[in-house]
Amino acid sequence: MQHDAGMRAAARAVYEAVYPTEDWAPVAFDEAERLGTVRYRQAVEAAGRVAACLLTDGSRQLALLL
């Protein structure tokens, strides 16, 4: 993810939204990325799915802005 700053930011947003506390994510995003944890990989996959949805449907992009 380090090569794509936008996708990395999206993966971080997903990770922090899904695992907001120490109870859920005892490993911070940067450490999870470095270790390649399951939760990190899931956040990356979710960010990729969101990006695919937004790239294929312009009306979804507009709905997020309103």
With cut-offs at 50, 70 and 90, classify the pLDDT of residue 14.
Answer: very high
**pLDDT in the model for residue 37:** 92
pLDDT mean across residues, the chain: 81
With cut-offs at 50, 70 and 90, classify the pLDDT of residue 20.
Answer: confident
Domain that holds residue 26: 5-65
Give the mean pLDDT of 11-27: 81
Q: How much is the pTM? A: 0.74
- Residue 9, helix vs strand vs coil: helix
How far is the CA of 25 from the CAs of 21, 36, 41, 43, 48, in angstroms? 6, 13, 13, 12, 20
Angle at 65 between CA 11 and CA 10, to 5 degrees: 5
Domain count, the chain: 1
